[in-house]
Amino acid sequence: MVTFIPCLTAQLKRIRNVFPLIFCMTLLLTAGIVLLASAVSRSDALSERKAKINIGLIGDVDRTYLDVGFSAIQKLDPSRYAIHFFSMGEAEAREKLARGEIIAYIAIPDDFIHSLNRGEDISLTYVTGSNASNIGTILMSEIMDVASGMATDSQNAIYGTRQLIAERDMWDVFEEATDSLFLHLVGLILNRMDLFLTECTGASEGMPFLSYYFVSFFIVFLLFWGIASSSLFIKKGIALTCLLKVRGRGVASQLCAEYAAYFALMLINLFLMIVPLGAVFHSFDIRIAEWEAEPITELFFFLVRLIPVAAVIAALQFFLYELTPNMLSGIFLQFLTAISLSYLSGCLYPIAFFPESIQRVAPWLPSGAALRYAGKCLTSSPSWREALPLLAYFPLFLGVAAAIRTWRMRR
């Protein structure tokens, strides 16, 4: 302790120099993310779960049966709550697709209806953007397959009927029968929800989507925050450390002091975020389902419970910087670790999107354990099951960091 206090004082002085800058960036980062979240939630486009999927239609839709078809989908089909079609020109469609205002457009050939009537094999072109990372795009591609299959089955039913008519020379009922069956099939498609009864249980053990991403935001934020401290940790050499050792400040004292100062910096930044975050929650009326009191109060208590998570992530970052004191490799490693851990533990895509093997491993990763613990902090109280991996990681990271430093000094 005698050697720890002077080391800590020295480290706190170092941190005092960079604090205003790092804090400004933290504020900027928070403001940016909050601005994005509020703009996205206001435009009702949050995470593609509440948003309608917009699709452009190009080609001569007016004056054809297609107009009737698309109007029917817009007005009668159950998908009208999820998909919206807009008629537009090709240039406009391309521009809107580039801007992300529509996720795809359907190009209808000029003689589409006539070709269908002649029984020719003709296709609509479903043109999408380049990026398949969007859930809406992936689902729409799947739905296009389904729609295509439904159209083929309907055609088969109609052409089968025509075949029966042709075999019996019943040409007088040809048109009427075709129309009648076609309308019946359209009715079946529009009435399809009759087949299903949807029962919503409400979120019970799982978190609602907004809460999940709220927790993920903090984990991603903490993981990336390590890069901001690169100027603190990137060292020119081991000389100063060796000198301090000679003067009686052992590796443990040095390391604990550096870690404590870094952790303090992280906590100060984290807690100072409460005010702007709380204000934004209040003014934009963003509601986290699990919160009952005022957002600022709830946020404060949530962050208090999040301290063990911050401690482990700070230890992880500390260990990584100890591993690579070089500037280029240090930042590279921080980023690689932050992005890989965020991705694999379900902070960027929900963990349910991943295969079983990743879902099994994720809770044992430092970020996965942190996410699980933080999730419990929001929904109820974390038990030892959630705390145990964090408790194991904390001494592990600091211990390995100490071992690396000792090895480097001896070398």
Partner 1 sequence: MRRFFLSFWLLEKRFFKNPMFLLLLLAIPLLALGLMAVSQEESGILKIALCAEDPGDSLAEGFIRALTEDDSPLLFVVMEDAVEARAAVEKNQVDAAWIFAEGFQEKLQFFARNGYSPEPAVLVVEREDTIPLQLSKIKLFGALYPDVAYSAYRSFAKEALLPDEELSEEDLRLAYEGSAMNGNLFQLDYVDFPAKTENRSYIMAPLRGLLALMVLLCGFSAVMLFFRDKKQGMFARIPAMAAQMRVYAYVLAATGPAAAVSLTAFAATKNTATFWWECLTMAVFVLSCCTFCALMMRILRTANVLGACLPFLMLGMLVFCPIFFSYGGFRAIQLLLPPYYYLNAIHNVGYLYAMCLYAAITGAASGLCAGPCRGRCR
d(CA 74, CA 62): 15
State the nearest-atom distance from the C-beta of 243 to partner 1, in Å: 19
Cα–Cα distance, 258 to 398 (Å, whole number) = 11
- In angstroms, the CA 377 to CA 183 distance is 55
385 touches partner 1 by CB under 8 A: no
Q: Are 259 and 311 in contact (CB under 8 A)?
A: no
Span interacting with partner 1, options 248-256, 306-314, 330-338, 364-372, rule CB under 8 A: 330-338
Cβ 370 vs Cβ 392: under 8 Å: no
Which is closer to partner 1, CB of 47 or CB of 406?
47
Sheet of 104-107: strands edge to edge?
A: 83-87, 53-58, 104-107
Residue from the set 72, 88, 139, 272 that interacts with partner 1 by CB under 8 A: 139
Choose, by CB under 8 A, the member of 4, 14, 48, 276 that binds partner 1.
48
Among 13, 49, 114, 360, binds partner 1 (CB under 8 A): 49
Question: For residue 87, what is the enclosing H or E element?
Answer: strand 83-87
Find the shortest distance in angstroms from Cβ 74 to partner 1. 15
The C-alpha R_g of the chain, in whole angstroms, comes to: 30
**What is the C-alpha separation between 151 and 308, in angstroms, rounded?**
56
Q: How far apart are CA 268 and CA 35, in angstroms?
A: 22
Residue 358 touching partner 1 (CB under 8 A): yes
* Span 113-132, contacts to partner 1 by CB under 8 A: 121-132
Q: Which of 220, 256, 315, 378 binds partner 1 (CB under 8 A)?
A: 220
Give 50 or 385: the residue with its C-beta nearer to partner 1: 50
Residues 242-261 that bind partner 1 (CB under 8 A): none
Q: Considering only residues 263-322, where is the footprint of partner 1 by CB under 8 A?
A: none
Alpha carbon of 27 to those of 34, 36, 163, 277: distances in Å?
10, 14, 72, 10
- Pick 82 or 307: Cβ nearer partner 1: 82
Scan residues 151-180 and list those touching partner 1 (CB under 8 A).
151-157, 159-165, 167-168, 170, 173, 177, 180
Cβ(256)–Cβ(178) below 8 Å? no
CB of 47 vs partner 1, minimal distance in Å? 7
Backbone conformation region of residue 55, classed left if phi is above 0, alpha if psi is from -120 to 50, else beta: beta
Compute CA distances 252 → 102, 220, 256, 288, 404, whole Å: 58, 29, 6, 42, 12
Size of the site for partner 1 (CB under 8 A): 144
Q: Residue length, the chain?
A: 411
Part in contact with partner 1 (CB under 8 A); list of ranges 256-264, 343-351, 366-374, 393-401: 343-351
Of 51-110, binders to partner 1 (CB under 8 A) are 51-53, 78-79, 81-83, 94, 97-101, 103, 106
To the nearest whole angstrom, how small is the minimum distance from the Cβ of residue 286 to partner 1? Answer: 17
**391 is an interface residue for partner 1 by CB under 8 A:** no
Rama region for 340: left / alpha / beta (φ>0; ψ in -120 to 50; rest): alpha
Stretch that binds partner 1, among 146-154, 241-249, 258-266, 388-396 (CB under 8 A): 146-154
- Say whether residue 397 binds partner 1 (CB under 8 A): no
Nearest residue (CB) to partner 1, 21 versus 279: 21
Closest distance to partner 1 from the beta carbon of 49 (Å): 4
Our measurement of the distance from residue 316's CA atom to the centroid of its chain's CA atoms, rounded to an integer in Å, reads 23
- Separation in Å, CA 121 to CA 124, 156, 327: 10, 12, 61
Q: Select from 4, 86, 224, 284 the one that contacts partner 1 (CB under 8 A).
A: 224
Closer Cβ to partner 1, 31 or 275, answer by number: 31
Question: Which amino acid appears at position 315 of this protein?
Answer: A
13 binds partner 1 per the rule CB under 8 A:
no
Task: Indicate the residue among 256 and 262 with the shorter CB distance to partner 1.
Answer: 262
Contacting residue, 326, 364, 391, 395, with partner 1 by CB under 8 A: 326
Is 15 in contact with 257 (CB distance < 8 Å)? no
| Distance in Å, CB of 247 to partner 1, minimum | 25
Side chain identity at residue 375, one-letter code: G
Min dist CB 151 to partner 1, Å, is: 4
Shortest Cβ 409–partner 1 spacing (Å): 18
Contacting residue, 65, 301, 332, 364, with partner 1 by CB under 8 A: 332
HSE value, Cβ hemisphere, 13 Å, CA-based, for 400 = 15
